[in-house]
Structure 1
Amino acid sequence: MRMRTLGVVMFLIFLTGGVLGYISAKMNPSGVAGDIMSSFGNKVRTINFTPFSLRSVLLVFINNFTVALLMFLLGITVILPSIIVFLNGAVAGVVVAFAEERGISLLLAVLAMIPHGIFELSAFFLSASYGTMLGIAFWRKIFGKGGDLFSLAVKMPFYIAFAAVLLITAAFIEVFISPLVFAV
């Protein structure tokens, strides 16, 4: 499967997670969606997110880069990167629903995510797609079906570095620009 095709698949998986997370939060805010929001809140407190802070940029980057690395490395399972993308979509959907509950319009909630989301999600879709391709190539090699495992493994540092650049850009935007969108 080609990288571009897998990227589109990851985007669709993310959207599916987002829609289901949003619907879940709207139908039963105290259920799974409430647990997700609680977990998300704990993560924000652990990171000690402070808008306009270089420390927050670093902590957001480390958190997101860890997730991206997991998707690269867990690609050997073929399915786990897709599950991580789905869960990230679900969290985004729940966050949007809870923002609405607090009087923030659906449009503003989504707009606040877009500036950093473009870079962050691109990095996540890249990591998940590449990890999945690597996993498929690994299993093809194991079962004697050929595959380009070596060439994929050689290119991996480039893709990890590219994802890191996307994620540091996303972290700066999330910490320095997204709070301004909410202030409007």
Structure 2
Amino acid sequence: MFKWSAIVDHLKSMHRYIAFSVILFMAGLVVGATNSALHGYLGGQVEAIRELGETLRQSSDPTLSFMVFIFINNAVKAVFVIYLGALLGIVPAFFLVVNGMVLGYLFYLKQLEAGAGGTLDMFLRGILPHGILEIPAVVVAAAYGLKFGALVWKRIFIPGGKGAEGAGTELRRFVPRTVPLGIVVVAVLLVASIIESTITPWLMGTSLS
């Protein structure tokens, strides 16, 4: 049964993993903004996103195309991050760092182009409206993936001990709890995709067509 109180309580119990996820994301952001050795790779990622955006603009309904693509892309990745976390937490950790790096690199580019004021403006109008929903949703999904990985790690590498037995029991309790959490994350990402494809372009004074 879908109970908000149970979801909230479980989220509270996940505070350490959520905090660690925030740290990984912020670390990626700092690295992306400051490590010039990675700017070639990150520039390629940003260029691929830009080219995809140009393709979506050629559709008969660019706004709808952007919304559908953003939602499906983010929702699928969020669900994968939760369950592929079973691979010892590697996938969610990598996902957080890389996404943080890309965002950090975008801030770096804006800083070069328009200075600190331009960077702040991009954050307030281009990131915050949808990011206030999207980023926490992604961070929480990754936190659940990290927890999944930690439990699998304990189950595998502490064979026969109380740690393994405890991890096995917690795994059986934990996995069903990812289902309502996943539904909430996907719903939040749907709202974020609507904002990103409608309100964000309007605030930025750009057109998707």
* TM-score normalised by the chain length of structure 1: 0.86
What percentage of residue pairs aligned between the two structures are identical?
25
Give the whole-Å Cα distance in 2 for the aligned partners of 1:83 and 1:163. Answer: 19
Give the whole-Å Cα distance in 1 for the aligned partners of 2:38 and 2:21. Answer: 26
Greater fraction of residues in helix: 2
Give 2:186's aligned residue.
Answer: 164
Q: Is the 8 A contact 2:107 2:119 kept in 1?
A: yes
Q: Is the 8 A contact 1:36 1:94 kept in 2?
A: no
Q: Is the 8 A contact 2:32 2:39 kept in 1?
A: no
Give 2:81's aligned residue.
Answer: 71
> Residue 107 in 1 paired to residue 120 in 2?
yes
- 1:133-148 aligned at under 5 Å gives the runs 133-142=147-156, 143-144=159-160, 145=164, 146-147=166-167, 148=170
- Give the direction of change, closer, same or farther, for the CA distance of 1:171–1:58 in structure 2 (3 Å limit): same
Give the whole-Å Cα distance in 1 for the aligned partners of 2:201 and 2:151. Answer: 41
Q: Is the 8 A contact 1:17 1:93 kept in 2?
A: yes
The one-character-per-residue Cα deviations of 1:98-132 (angstroms, maximum 9, x if unpaired) are 23344370101211201111111111111111111
Question: How many residues end up aligned between the 2 structures?
Answer: 181
> Residue 42 in 1 paired to residue 55 in 2?
no
Give the whole-Å Cα distance in 2 for the aligned partners of 1:46 and 1:69. Answer: 26
Give 2:97's aligned residue.
Answer: 86
SS of residue paired to 1:177: helix
User: Which residue type is aligned with residue 100 of structure 2?
Assistant: G
Give the whole-Å Cα distance in 1 for the aligned partners of 2:184 and 2:75. Answer: 11
SS of residue paired to 2:114: coil
Q: Note the aligned Cα RMSD (angstroms).
A: 2.5
